[in-house]
Structure 1
């Protein structure tokens, strides 16, 4: 078992706040003054007298000079008594009001690790590395993170939301299109259509142990959006399998991949191929994740789009503090189809900012820019572009607010908004889209 060096965390950084308020006389049988209660409880905990320490805290609850330290000690007692889920609830409650308390976040990460919730434990350990820590504490956190990468067996994902959307088809708001310079009326399905969607997404990965640092990772995901107009319903089923190699600061996972998609209740397309997933710890605060993939695409309705797609994505994460993360993203794709005017090359640039606030609020903002260059333009639109190849520029930003302290059974409400604008030198492909989401997500 890993030894957690909390005693080495002295002053410096945000550990626990000092409070200055008078409390009622407490525990007369111990002849304690108000300011002596919590130090007395700390001595009881150090001596292993956990039952007595808990009894004292329960009798004076809410009447000590430092209610946050009082609650923190209750969390410590729960952890030492191996009531990890009680400890997790206590620490999360503290962080919902005081998100910058590094020691509390560290104890939460440790309790999550002991409870087997490795995904959430990793999230909080990596946040803590955003502070200036003693070297020994930093080393110990990295040992936990390495252990998490090694022992991982299950990974489960779930998300459900209501999603009002101004443009579910990502289509133009024009009612006419000019082909060879002549106007044609657009059908209703080819124009911007608003609607209320119900989104459901579930997924799971299992890691089969093959050796000490090698596991066979297999996963499946299903994503479905349901609309009142069923012709816009969208279902996406994907799977992957391959070995995962875990090293001290790196994890590599080559996989076979595939997916099947249905649109409007009918077969739309499917693909098969492979990908390489990479994770690397650059330093205590910097982390690198990358994906390199190749897929063979087959379309059921429009066989002109049959071909292959190669892509890469690289994301760098930097822990600013124990409650905030900054991310940078760069990616690109190359798609080759059966017709030149659908062949394209794209460049993707983006970022992200994560911040835990008080009152249990978490903010995540993600801006992104996508530049797409086609090898040609459809002949009917050549008049509009002046013979130039088609070029699209897509701007998007999303904002998510999660209320962590409203968590029930490990899930919390999330309120999201996203805006997408696509500008194209072919006006038929230009559009605006506003989307709102009210859903449930996992609590970290």
Structure 2
């Protein structure tokens, strides 16, 4: 290979491979041969095979990032470069990685994502387990429709964004997301669509976006509510390993049937992401949201906090753990119960994926989500277990 005898090198490596099918050195050299021949899909496959059992192999991850970059897979290339950047690399190599990251940001004008899953759920209507509730001091039995129900749903999530250049430092952002959960009978089907439009400015390592937003939700396959608003986002790359993001959004909300819920919703979130090692990363999130409706008993403030940890393991297994806590305070006493509503929600999500099984960029995932809400009004307390078995794009 060093003397340019690529055909002879390939012949020797292929002759050795059947005898040592898991030898990382042979697979790596075959990958490098594919890079030299500009056969980037073959190189990507070789490098991924090595990382299945050696997720901390920084050099392999770096070469995978380069092959993905040359193949036009910018999202995955950026991820691999950021993981590689956390390794013990010489300063000049880190400089090259930073150049690749800058080039990705400059040339990428379209990105999309999609996932699909089968989703068994122990409480599809987020209902309490109690049989009766006290209203104005009198006992009432819950109807069957108000009790918890189990079911198996189908979930679909998709997103896309187009960001054409307006000037060297300014882009236009046009995008949207769509999420849908579908259950048998349709009574608890839930669909949410979001769209946004606005300019994005980049100054050094900081990005600012001012977006007009729109939201429409259908519940039970009937229109539920819609909203228009404005959103301000700020992203700051402290380094190739660390990113801070914050977003503030204010929306004017109208409901299609229950007009007493009409009002405004303001939401702020702050997020920190950090790449720990070439095979792991973590994040933290805090937030607060304010919903003001025509009725004080429905107006509320929600405080939110969460963390996340990602680790690539051997045999191609990846683990993502995300615990989260939310606390809701309502403005006024509910006459029927004689107290102001207070909720505490604990939620934890565990996701397993297999990087070894990839088909057209998609990989199987298995998620388990446990939610438990404790309210001072029993009617709003519940626990819920959700499973999701599906496929998602591999990043």
Q: Please, what TM-score do these two structures have when normalized by structure 1?
A: 0.86
Residue 326 (1) aligns with residue 285 (2): no
| 1:135-165 CA distance string (max 9 Å, x none) | 2222221221122222111111111000000
2:304 corresponds in structure 1 to 348
User: 1:157, 1:228 → 2: CA distance?
Assistant: 26
2:195 corresponds in structure 1 to 239
Indicate the larger mover: 193-202 or 284-293.
284-293
Q: Is the 8 A contact 1:290 1:314 kept in 2?
A: yes
* More strand as a share of residues: 2
1:37 corresponds in structure 2 to none
> How much is the aligned-residue C-alpha RMSD, in angstroms?
1.5
2:375 corresponds in structure 1 to 424
User: 2:322, 2:129 → 1: CA distance?
Assistant: 26
| 1:251-291 CA distance string (max 9 Å, x none) | 22221111111111111001111212222111343221222
Q: Is the 8 A contact 1:402 1:413 kept in 2?
A: yes
Q: Is the 8 A contact 1:404 1:412 kept in 2?
A: yes
2:122 corresponds in structure 1 to 166
User: 2:268, 2:254 → 1: CA distance?
Assistant: 20
| 1:184-228 CA distance string (max 9 Å, x none) | 222222221111001112221111221123221111222111111
Q: What does 1:189-268 correspond to in 2, within 5 Å? A: 189-268=145-224
The match for 2:45 among 89, 102, 123 is 89
Q: What does 1:256-405 correspond to in 2, within 5 Å? A: 256-382=212-338, 385=339, 389-405=340-356
2:358 corresponds in structure 1 to 407
1:440 corresponds in structure 2 to 391
Q: CA deviation at 1:337?
A: 0.8
User: 1:410, 1:65 → 2: CA distance?
Assistant: 23
Q: Is the 8 A contact 1:150 1:213 kept in 2?
A: no
1:33 corresponds in structure 2 to none
Q: What does 1:75-224 correspond to in 2, within 5 Å? A: 75-224=31-180
Indicate the larger mover: 321-330 or 183-192.
183-192
Q: Is the 8 A contact 1:288 1:316 kept in 2?
A: yes
* More helix as a share of residues: 1
User: 2:292, 2:113 → 1: CA distance?
Assistant: 32
User: 2:19, 2:272 → 1: CA distance?
Assistant: 46
SS of the residue corresponding to residue 209 of structure 1 reads: coil
Q: What does 1:50-61 correspond to in 2, within 5 Å? A: 50-61=6-17
User: 1:59, 1:292 → 2: CA distance?
Assistant: 59
User: 2:165, 2:109 → 1: CA distance?
Assistant: 8
User: 2:84, 2:233 → 1: CA distance?
Assistant: 25
| 1:321-364 CA distance string (max 9 Å, x none) | 10000111111101111111111111111000000011010000
SS of the residue corresponding to residue 356 of structure 2 reads: helix
Q: CA deviation at 1:62?
A: 4.2
| 1:151-183 CA distance string (max 9 Å, x none) | 111111111000000111111111222111111
| 1:224-245 CA distance string (max 9 Å, x none) | 1111121111111221111222
Corresponding residue pairs, total: 395
> Measured at CA, do residues 378 and 245 of structure 1 come closer, stay the same or move farther in structure 2, by a change above 3 Å?
same
User: 2:20, 2:316 → 1: CA distance?
Assistant: 24
Q: Is the 8 A contact 1:146 1:248 kept in 2?
A: no
> Measured at CA, do residues 346 and 375 of structure 1 come closer, stay the same or move farther in structure 2, by a change above 3 Å?
same
User: 1:190, 1:139 → 2: CA distance?
Assistant: 60
User: 2:30, 2:327 → 1: CA distance?
Assistant: 53
User: 1:90, 1:252 → 2: CA distance?
Assistant: 38
Larger radius of gyration: 1
Indicate the larger mover: 78-87 or 363-372.
78-87
Q: Please, what TM-score do these two structures have when normalized by structure 2?
A: 0.96
